[in-house]
């Protein structure tokens, strides 16, 4: 399978490129705003000049690329593995609209472990309806979106079993924790790939579930698995839930 990689010159783009050939998926071209520097495959500066003769598009770039990216994939009828995070509500609507026309895999975290963490936390939160829920995420100091897309996805997963919960990000000033709150705290530090912790606690006990990514290759491997899964599927929105139930 031949893939066009958007954001190919970024940190994640380079990780993905390094694994080219994984699961029979090969990166044959790229798109990147910073279209200069060394790259073993042709790189276009925007989607107007990008190579469309591929089987799938993968994206690890910036949310500002959402419109150009989805327009390109819909126009060329290409499946899309979307890994970029931090989209605005308007950009999310573009993604949902595109998924009505093409197969589109969208995950804030392509780690299988995180998908399993979400499922486990949901089970515990459902079995302990009185427990308070907090998420702590830690990432490198280059990360521009806070809270992380993964933390928001984990909070949404928890809201499936706590539909009346409110997601509260950050904590400062005076005032007690509200009842039915899912708190998210963000830490930015050094070169940490990604740590997500879910704390589920009552007055008498706390369960802590922790996932730690050791290398960015983890996300690249997951994106390749998603691409292999996606091609040949009908139009629709696919998530990690689909991968862990295969």
Ligand X SMILES: NC(=O)c1ccc[n+]([C@@H]2O[C@H](COP(=O)([O-])OP(=O)(O)OC[C@H]3O[C@@H](n4cnc5c(N)ncnc54)[C@H](O)[C@@H]3O)[C@@H](O)[C@H]2O)c1
State the catalytic residues.
139, 143
- The size of the chain, in residues, is 246
195, 138 in Cβ contact below 8 A? yes
Of 65 and 80, the one with the shorter C-beta distance to ligand X is 65
Residue with the CB atom nearest ligand X in the bound state: 10
CB nearer ligand X, residue 16 or residue 121: 16
Sheet (strand 195-201) strand order? 166-169, 181-188, 132-139, 195-201, 206-212
Please report how close the Cβ of residue 9 comes to ligand X at its closest, in angstroms: 4
Q: In angstroms, give the least distance from the CB of 69 to ligand X.
A: 7
* DSSP states of 159-180: HTT-TT-EEEE---SS-PPPTT
Residue 98 tokens, joined: 């595109």
Q: How far apart are CA 120 and CA 122, in angstroms?
A: 5
Cis bond before residue 31 (omega within 30° of 0): no
Give the single-character DSSP code of 32: -
Q: In angstroms, what is the C-alpha Rg of the chain?
A: 19
Q: Applying CB under 6 A, which residues contact ligand X?
A: 6-7, 9-13, 31-34, 60-62, 64-65, 83-86, 107-110, 219
Least distance in angstroms from the C-beta of 207 to ligand X: 25
The least CB distance from residue 24 to ligand X, in Å, is: 20
In this complex, which beta carbon is closest to ligand X, that of residue 99 or of residue 200? 99
**For ligand X, the closer CB: 6 or 70:** 6
């Amino acid at each position: 399978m031949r893939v066009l990689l958007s954001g190919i010159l970024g940190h994640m783009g380079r990780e993905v490129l390094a694994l080219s050939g994984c699961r029979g998926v090969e990166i044959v071209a790229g798109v990147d705003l910073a279209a200069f520097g060394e790259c073993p495959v042709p790189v276009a500066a925007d989607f107007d000049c990008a190579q469309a003769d591929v089987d799938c598009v993968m994206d690890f770039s910036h949310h500002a690329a959402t419109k150009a990216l989805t327009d390109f994939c819909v126009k060329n009828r290409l499946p899309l593995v979307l890994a970029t995070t931090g989209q605005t509500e308007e950009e999310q609507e573009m993604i949902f609209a595109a998924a009505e026309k093409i197969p589109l895999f969208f995950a804030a975290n392509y780690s299988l472990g995180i998908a399993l963490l979400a499922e486990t936390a949901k089970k515990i939160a459902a079995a302990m309806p009185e427990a308070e829920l907090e998420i702590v995420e830690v990432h490198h100091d280059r990360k521009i979106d806070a809270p992380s897309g993964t933390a928001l996805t984990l909070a949404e997963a928890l809201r499936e079993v706590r539909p009346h919960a409110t997601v509260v990000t950050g904590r400062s000033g005076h005032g007690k924790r509200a009842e039915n709150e899912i708190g998210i705290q963000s830490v930015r530090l050094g070169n940490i790939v990604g740590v997500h912790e879910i704390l589920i606690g009552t007055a008498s006990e706390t369960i802590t579930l922790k996932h730690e990514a050791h290398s960015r290759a983890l996300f690249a491997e997951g994106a390749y698995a998603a691409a292999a899964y996606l091609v040949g599927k009908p139009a629709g929105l696919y998530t990690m839930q689909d991968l862990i139930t295969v």
